[in-house]
Amino acid sequence: MIGGVGTGLTRLADMLERRGAAARSMTPEPDAAPSGAERPPAPAPVPPQATAAADGPEAAPSPAAVRSGAPESARATASVRAGAPGSASEAEGEVAVVPEHAAAGAVASGSAAPESGAPSSTDHDPAAAVPWGVRVAAEVGWRLLILAGALWVLMRVISAVELVVLAFTAGLLITALLQPTVAWLKRHGVPRGLATALTFISGFVIMGLVGWFVVWQVTENIDNLTSQVQQGIKDFKHWLLNSPFHVTQDQINNIADNLSQALGSNTKDITNASIEGVQVIIEVLTGIVLAMFSTLFLLYDGPKIWSWLLKLFPAAAREGVEGAGPRAWATLTAYVRGTVIVALIDAIFIGIGLFFLDVPLAVPLAVFIFLFAFIPLVGAVVSGALAVVVALVTRDPFTAAMVLVVVLAVQQIEGHILQPFILGRAVRVHPLAVVLSVAAGSLIAGIGGAVVAVPLVAVTNTVVGYLRAHAKGSPPPPSASR
């Protein structure tokens, strides 16, 4: 019986020893040192940078793992690859798993898909619900509204000082016409002050003589013109009586009576118009004086005035404005000089035609043709129609038809030969832009606005083209605007 108990205890001890050995083989701790021997020192911890440098780029923990709060998993992986005790035996037979820092990096980089039904950042942004085209249209729209408001304020200011603006603009155009003469005199050794004085005096004396000559011709021929107009009206009445329209004398008398009654009932309006005419004459004289002073100072101190204007612009935009200014001035000078030459040729040839056709007031009509030539397209039509009407009233329909032929022939030569050759590409503006600008200028400022509209459009076209090329880094040479 005692022997059976001993055998059972021995088996129990063997079984416990096997279980303890199995338990010790499954623990990650290293085997205990033999009794009586000193425990070997623990290995020094290896820094993550050294571990990453030793193992290559695979062992270095990603920044996403550090940001995701999993430094322990990264260090544990590095210690296993560095050969920590017990790591080799533990790694054997294990199934490879995805490291935690890789999953954290995927989440941090945005590659992980969001959970279904989770609200996105755009769900609470009202602007994200607006279509892109509508947003762009709104951005462009409010900018256009600001520009329109600024333009409206500018036009209101100009209309308040319309006389000053028109006088200065006229002085600027006259300066563009006379400035080449000042430059020519300076190149030949004449001092600037003397050159300016000679050019200014001679220019305004010539313009004054032309105006005086027109007034003198009109006053000298007004009696003859009146009698010829009356005779023309009688001939027209006789033609109506014998025309196929079957107009009677009573109908003609009724028309004459209605005209007389209209003149008698509107006597007050005619008187007011006469008073307004006196005011207009005073304003015209004031504008002439302002234009003369503007021309004088622009001829003498033009470069200094331009340098002062440049200082008003910001430093970032000063370079572009400084380059656009000479080109704009060259365009304006070319326009004025070319228009004067073309208008002079038109006036000479149409005046010669009127003289040989024995039309009264041939010279004053030629001067009017010269002045109206500064209004492109519209001015030529108006001056030509005026010459045809004078020929019809004072002469006969055949003479009027011949005047019409002369006017059309000269204008066709002007439009297809003279303007492209003299003006060139420097001030080339599309005919539609010319018509619209003349119409807008006449609505805003009358005849003066119609005169300055086309050169303003030509200068604006030159300036915008230069600034666009300057922004791209390839501005055209100065000769391109001449």
Mapping DSSP onto H, E and C, the string for the chain reads CHHHHHHHHHHHHHHHHHHHHHHHHHCCCCCCCCCCCCCCCCCCCCCHHHHHHHHCCCCCCCHHHHHCCCHHHHHHHHHHHCCCCCHHHHHCCCCCCCCHHHHHHHHHCCCCCCCCCCCCCCCCCHHHHCCHHHHHHHHHHHHHHHHHHHHHHHHHHHHHCHHHHHHHHHHHHHHHHHHHHHHHHHHCCCCHHHHHHHHHHHHHHHHHHHHHHHHHHHHHHHHHHHHHHHHHHHHHHHHHHCCCCCCCHHHHHHHHHHHHHHHHHCHHHHHHHHHHHHHHHHHHHHHHHHHHHHHHHHHHHHHHHHHHHHHCCCHHHHHHHHHHHHHHHHHHHHHHHHHHHHHHHHHHHHHHHHHHCCCCCHHHHHHHHHHHCCCCCHHHHHHHHHHHHHHHHHCCHHHHHHHHHHHHHHHHHHHHHHHHHHCCCCCCCCHHHHHHHHHHHHHHHHHHHHHHHHHHHHHHHHHHHHHHHHHCCCCCCHHHHC
Nearest CA among 464, 339, 448, 359 for reference residue 406: 359
Q: Do the Cβ atoms of 401 and 347 come closer than 8 Å?
A: no
pLDDT of residue 106: 44
Q: Tell me how far CA of residue 17 lies from CA of 3, 4, 11, 25, 26, in angstroms.
A: 21, 20, 10, 12, 14
Residues 344 and 454 in one domain: yes
Q: Assign 271 a pLDDT band (cuts: 50, 70, 90).
A: low
276 with 208, same domain: the answer is yes
Is the predicted pLDDT of residue 209 greater than 60, yes or no? yes
Give the pLDDT score at 424: 64
- 28 pLDDT band, cuts 50/70/90, is low
Which residues, in sequence order, are CB contacts of 298 under 8 Å at separation 6+? Answer: 171, 172, 175, 305
Q: What is the value of pTM for the model shown?
A: 0.60
Asked whether residue 374 is domain-assigned, the answer is yes
Residues 225 and 343 in one domain: no
Query: Mean per-residue pLDDT for 296-305?
Result: 90
- Is residue 90 very low, low, confident or very high in pLDDT (cuts 50, 70, 90)? very low
Q: Are 55 and 81 in contact (CB under 8 A)?
A: yes
Q: Domain of residue 458: give its range.
A: 313-482
Are 275 and 382 within one domain?
no
Provide the pLDDT confidence category of residue 57 given band limits of 50, 70 and 90. very low
Q: Are residues 284 and 340 in the same domain?
A: no
> Residue 215 — φ and ψ, nearest 5°?
-65, -40
Quote the mean pLDDT of the chain: 74
pLDDT score, position 477: 58
The pLDDT score that the predictor gives to residue 260 is: 67
The pair of structure tokens assigned to 157 is: 């200011």
Where does a domain end: 296, 329, 344? Answer: 296
Q: Is the pLDDT of residue 12 over 60?
A: yes
Per the domain annotation, does 332 fall within a domain?
yes
- Give the confidence band of 236 by pLDDT, cuts at 50, 70, 90: confident
- Read off the pLDDT of residues 314-336 as tens digits, 9 standing for 90 and up: 888 888 888 888 888 888 888 88
Among residues 267, 296, 325, the one where a domain terminates is: 296
Contact 344, 370 (CB under 8 A): yes
Cα 12 to Cα 349: distance, rounded to the nearest angstrom: 141
- Band of residue 473 on the pLDDT scale cut at 50, 70, 90: confident
Banded pLDDT at 147 (limits 50, 70, 90): very high
pLDDT higher than 50, residue 381: yes
Does residue 403 have a pLDDT over 60?
yes
Do 343 and 467 lie in one domain? The reply is yes
Q: Are residues 282 and 338 in the same domain?
A: no
Cα–Cα distance, 449 to 457 (Å, whole number): 12
Query: Does 424 or 296 have the greater pLDDT score?
Result: 296
Higher pLDDT, 166 or 59: 166
Q: How does residue 469 score in pLDDT terms, banded at 50, 70 and 90?
A: confident
Q: Which tops the pLDDT comparison, 58 or 341?
A: 341
Residue 229 included in any domain? yes
The tally of CA atoms less than 13 A away on the side-chain side of residue 237 is: 15
Structure tokens at 407: 């006017």
| Res. 200 pLDDT band, cuts 50 70 90 | very high
Six-digit token string for 185: 């005199």
Residue 303 lies in a domain: no
What pLDDT does 402 receive?
92
285 with 394, same domain?
A: no
Q: How does pLDDT run across 278-293, given as a tens digit for each residue?
A: 777 888 889 889 999 9
Which range in 45-49, 180-184, 337-341, 465-469 is most confidently predicted, on average pLDDT?
180-184
Q: How far apart are CA 44 and CA 246, in angstroms?
A: 131
Whether residue 451 is predicted with pLDDT greater than 70 in this model: the reply is yes
Other beta carbons within 10 Å of 176:
21
Q: Give dist(CA 78, CA 86) in Å, integer.
A: 14
Domain count, the chain: 2
Assess if residue 121 is contained within a domain: no
Cβ neighbourhood burial of 104 (10 Å; 0-12, 13-18, 19+)? buried
Structure tokens of 15? Answer: 């079984």
More confident residue, 197 or 33: 197
What is the separation, in whole angstroms, between the first and last Cα of the chain? Answer: 135
Rounded CA separation 214/285 (Å):
17
Q: Band of the pLDDT at 52, cuts 50, 70, 90?
A: very low
Q: Could you tell me if 256 and 352 lie in one domain?
A: no
Say if residues 48 and 54 touch (Cβ distance below 8 Å).
Answer: no
Q: pLDDT class for 213, splitting at 50, 70, 90?
A: confident
456 in the same domain as 386: yes
Within a domain: 178: yes
CA distance 409 to 380: 12
**Domain membership flag for residue 25:** no
Q: Is the pLDDT of residue 7 over 80?
A: no
Q: Do 459 and 328 meet the contact criterion of CB atoms below 8 Å apart?
A: yes
Instruction: Say if residues 357 and 399 touch (Cβ distance below 8 Å).
Output: yes
Q: Is 459 contained in some domain?
A: yes
Mean pLDDT confidence for 355-360: 86
Residue 59 pLDDT > 90, yes or no? no
Domain final residue pick, 263, 296, 329: 296
Q: What is the pLDDT of residue 263?
A: 58
Instruction: Judge if 455 and 330 occupy the same domain.
Output: yes
Let me know whether 336 and 463 are in one domain. Answer: yes
